[in-house]
Amino acid sequence: MELVVKDLKKKFDKKEVLKGLNFKFEKGKIYGLLGRNGAGKTTFFNCLNKDIEIDSGEFYIEENNIKRKIQPEDIGYVLSTPVVPEFLTGREFLKFFLDINKDKIKNLKTIDEYFDFMKIEKEDRDKLLKDYSHGMKNKMQMLVNIIASSAVLLLDEPLTSFDVVVAEEMKQMLKDIKKDHVIIFSTHIMELALDLCGEIVILNKGYLEKINMNEINKEETKERIIQSLKEEQNV
């Protein structure tokens, strides 16, 4: 299964943010989407999630040479700033999500099994979400997207709110589930992308550029990435 993006363009007023993106994202891989702040990473995700309309181009799922339009259930989107119903407890929120999606969820587990999977402590499960830390809200947002088992997971700076231990747990969890998804991990931190991702893609000057991973540990390649991102600032 592949997420195919063809000549995707988006501008705001006179500013061209995405000038013609072309890429094939394959199931079973974690793609690190690198770019400076303001390069258009979140705009790209918002286009894929159909939160904003594209100006031209297309994107679709392709499997066994069959092309189909992306449906809402195909996309799981973890926002950098988590959005959760703060008037519910963690348990109430998860129960509500499971109840309305139970016919779609494969291998349905108990609420506490899901909490255990995401390493949410027992004393936090019945707290109101408004009392959760930013990182814990992000965990809950990530958890429901994983439960939904969307074909494509868009992760917009998802680890920046976690402490070192939790960030390592989340990285291992993403590696464990990658075989079932296309995962695109947006970040502006190169070392994080190199540590987690099997493929690196730079969003630079409105286009996507794939980095040769056979050379990724060479200093000159890292310097090329940095130089490319520096150039973006001057566009």
Compute mean pLDDT per 10 residues along the chain, 235 residues long, and list them.
96 92 95 86 94 95 92 89 91 95 87 93 96 90 89 86 78 89 88 85 90 68 67 51
Rounded to two decimals, what is the model's pTM?
Answer: 0.87
In a domain, 10, yes or no: yes
In a domain, 108, yes or no: no
Q: What is the pLDDT of residue 39?
A: 81
Q: What is the pLDDT of residue 130?
A: 95
Q: What is the pLDDT of residue 235?
A: 44
What is the spatial distance between Cα 186 and Cα 43, in angstroms, rounded to a whole number? 11
Q: What is the pLDDT of residue 162?
A: 72
In a domain, 116, yes or no: no
Q: What is the pLDDT of residue 38?
A: 80
Instruction: Work out how many domains the chain is built from and give that number.
Output: 1
In a domain, 130, yes or no: no
Pairing relation of β-strands 56-63 and 30-34? unpaired
In a domain, 148, yes or no: yes
Token reading at 169: 């747990």
What's the Cα-to-Cα distance from 30 to each of 175, 205, 235, rounded to whole Å? 8, 23, 28
What is the spatial distance between Cα 235 and Cα 67, in angstroms, rounded to a whole number? 35
Which residue intervals of the chain are DSSP H helices?
41-48, 90-101, 111-117, 134-147, 164-177, 190-196, 219-233
Find the domain containing 29 and state its range.
Answer: 2-85+137-233
In a domain, 73, yes or no: yes
Q: What is the pLDDT of residue 59?
A: 96
Q: Could you tell me the CATH number of the domain that includes residue 13?
A: 3.40.50.300
Q: CB within 8 A of 122, min separation 6: which ones?
A: 115
In a domain, 222, yes or no: yes
In a domain, 213, yes or no: yes
